[in-house]
Structure 1
Amino acid sequence: MKRNVLFSRCDGPGLEHLRLFEQNGEIIADSLLIAIEEDTAFRAHYTIRCDATWYVRAVSLELLDHPARQLHLLADGTGQWHTANGTPLPSLSGCIDVDITVTPFTNTLPIRRLHLMPGQATEITVVYFSLPELQFQPVRQRYTCLSTSARGNMYKYEGLESGFTAELQTDHDGLILDYPDLWRRVWSERDEER
C-alpha cells in the first residue's frame, strides 16, 4: 500500500496532505495539517505507526508554530500506553485506536482494524487528541458498517459522549472520501473513484 492523499475542510479553511505507506512490516501515516480551530490558525505534523494488522503502536504530534510543541506516545497494541520516556499512562488503558480532532484519517484506523460487515457495530475507546491544545483523553465511540459496494463502503460513526454522528464514505482502503460537512477528499495519487 502506498497512498498520497489531500483532504480539504468543508466547514472553513483547512488542508491535509497524508502519505500512507508500508515499511518494514509497519503501516505508517505521515501527515501535514493546516487548519483553524476556534479562531486559532495552526500547522501540525503527525505520524502514526501501526503494526501490519492496524493496531496503533506509536503516535507523534508536533505543532509547527512558534514555539513548537511535541507529543510522543507509545502503545503495546493491547491497550497499554506510555510516554516516550517509559512513564505509564493508566488513564488510557484499553484504548487501541487514536482519533486526532482535525483529521479524517484517524477514522481509517478502526475501520481497517475491525473488518466490520454490513450491519455489524462495535464500541471502542480511543485516545482522543485535541489540536491545537495538544491534549489527550480516552473517548468512547461506535462504528457501524452500513454497506459495502464495488465503489466503496459506508460507515456510521458515533461519539458516544458527545452525541455526534456522521455517515462516512470510504474507498476500499478505508480512506475517507466524504465526511459530511467537515472533510472531503480532493485528490489521491491512486484514486479509483474518479
Structure 2
Amino acid sequence: MKTLIWKGIAFQSLEYFNITENDKNLIVESKIIGFYEDKIYTVDYQLIIDLHWNIQEFVIESEVNTGKNKLTGKKLQNEWEINDVINPDFKEFPFIDISLTPFTNTLPINNLQLAENDSQEIKVIYIDVLNHLVKPVTQQYTKIDRNTYHYNNLQTDFKSDILVDENGLVVNYPGLFDKIAEM
C-alpha cells in the first residue's frame, strides 16, 4: 500500500514505515533509529489492524543503550493481553499510542470518521518505548478540516494540530515529526 520515511524532530530519529493490506487486515512493519536525551535507540514494531482501523495485535522490540526489550499486545474482545497477561487497566481501550512514531495517531483519525469540527475523547494504551512504560491515557481528537486534526492529551495538556494526507498518515506533527519521503 505505502512506504514512507518520517523524520523525528524532537527524538532525532528516522522511521522507515511500510503498510500493506490483505483481504482482512492492514499490516504495519516499521523500523526506527534515533538518539534522544543520551539514549541511542532502535525500535522495530509490527501491527495488525483490521480494515476499520482497530488495532488487533502489536509487537514492539526495542534496544535503548544496548538494553533490549520486547512488548506484545493482543486484543481479546474488549480486553488486552499484554506480554501474555490480561491487563484489566486496558479493558475497552480501542487504541495504542507508541511514543516514537506518528503512525499511531492515524488509528483514531481513520477509525473515528469525524465530521469537520467534531471531536471525541478516546482511551489509549500509551507506550513510552524509551522509558519502558505502558499506561492508560485519555486523548481527544477534533477534526479541524479535511487534513488537519487537533490532538489533545488530556492527562498532560499537550496539544498540537496534526496535518495528514488523504490516507490519514501524518505529514507534519509540529516540532515532533515530518514525512520526508514516500512511495
TM bucket, shorter chain: over 0.9
1:91 corresponds to which residue?
A: 89
Is the Cα contact below 8 Å between 1:45 and 1:64 reproduced in 2? no
2:70 corresponds to which residue?
A: 70
Cα distance in structure 1, aligned partners of 2:123 and 2:95: 7
Cα distance in structure 2, aligned partners of 1:12 and 1:51: 29
1:162 corresponds to which residue?
A: 156
Cα distance in structure 2, aligned partners of 1:140 and 1:172: 26
How much is the aligned-residue C-alpha RMSD, in angstroms? 1.4
1:177 corresponds to which residue?
A: 171
Cα distance in structure 1, aligned partners of 2:67 and 2:119: 42
Deviation at 1:51, TM superposition (A): 1.0
Residue 99 of structure 1 aligns to a residue whose secondary structure is strand
Deviation at 1:95, TM superposition (A): 1.1
Cα distance in structure 2, aligned partners of 1:140 and 1:88: 20
Cα distance in structure 1, aligned partners of 2:11 and 2:97: 20
1:192 corresponds to which residue?
A: none
TM-score of the two chains, using structure 1 as the length reference:
0.89
Cα distance in structure 1, aligned partners of 2:95 and 2:78: 9
- Structure 2 counterpart of 1:57, one-letter code: Q
- State the identity %: 26
Count of aligned pairs between the two proteins: 182
- Structure 1 counterpart of 2:48, one-letter code: R
Deviation at 1:134, TM superposition (A): 2.6
- Structure 2 counterpart of 1:178, one-letter code: N
TM-score of the two chains, using structure 2 as the length reference:
0.94
Once the two structures are superposed, residues 75-95 of structure 1 have per-residue CA deviations (whole angstroms, 9 ceiling, x without a partner) of: 13x54101353x211011121
Gaps of 5+ in 2: none
- Structure 2 counterpart of 1:74, one-letter code: K
2:130 corresponds to which residue?
A: 132
- Structure 2 counterpart of 1:158, one-letter code: N
1:28 corresponds to which residue?
A: 27
Cα distance in structure 1, aligned partners of 2:78 and 2:166: 27
1:6 corresponds to which residue?
A: 5
